[in-house]
């Protein structure tokens, strides 16, 4: 009985430490960081020179949803062929976004693996619009 009282807490503690270590190791493998729309907005308002990268399709970029001001459009489907267009920006932070944050996470991983400083905007343009961030709407999007 005494052995069980001593061993059980030790086993639980060892499992907890092991779980944290695996989680930390997995998070350490991610070559980009996540950023919220509110953090992006605050940085832009402070004058930070962020590169804004929209990885949605051209149709989404031009839709009623709009896009962030000064956004560069490189759809995620084209990122592997076109990422060299960003070569002059390797020293700058790039904020990648899509509709919800899934495609931009994929693009962020790819660019991060290529040596870019990438921030993935979690929640994408959907979250940006929910917090009433500035967007640009093209003529096509206003029709």
Active site residues: 98
Q: How far apart are CA 40 and CA 37, in angstroms?
A: 5
> With contact defined as beta carbons under 8 Å apart, do 128 and 101 qualify?
no
- Return the DSSP state at 36: -
Q: Which residues contact 110 (CB under 8 A, 6 or more apart)?
A: 79, 80, 83
Tokens found for residue 77: 């489907």
Q: Residue 86 is encoded by which pair of tokens?
A: 């960003």
């Amino acid at each position: 009985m005494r052995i069980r009282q001593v061993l059980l807490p030790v086993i639980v503690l060892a499992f907890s430490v092991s779980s944290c270590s695996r989680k930390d190791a997995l998070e350490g493998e991610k070559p980009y960081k996540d950023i919220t729309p509110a953090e992006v907005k605050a940085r832009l308002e402070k004058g930070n020179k962020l590169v804004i990268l929209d990885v949605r399709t051209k149709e989404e970029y031009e839709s009623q949803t709009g896009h962030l001001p000064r956004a560069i459009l490189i759809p995620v489907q084209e990122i592997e062929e076109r990422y060299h267009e960003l070569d002059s920006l390797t020293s700058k932070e790039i904020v990648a976004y899509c509709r919800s944050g899934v495609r931009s996470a994929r693009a962020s991983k790819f660019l991060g693996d290529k040596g870019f400083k990438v921030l993935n905007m979690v929640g994408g343009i959907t979250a940006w619009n929910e917090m009433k961030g500035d967007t640009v709407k093209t003529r096509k999007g206003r029709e």
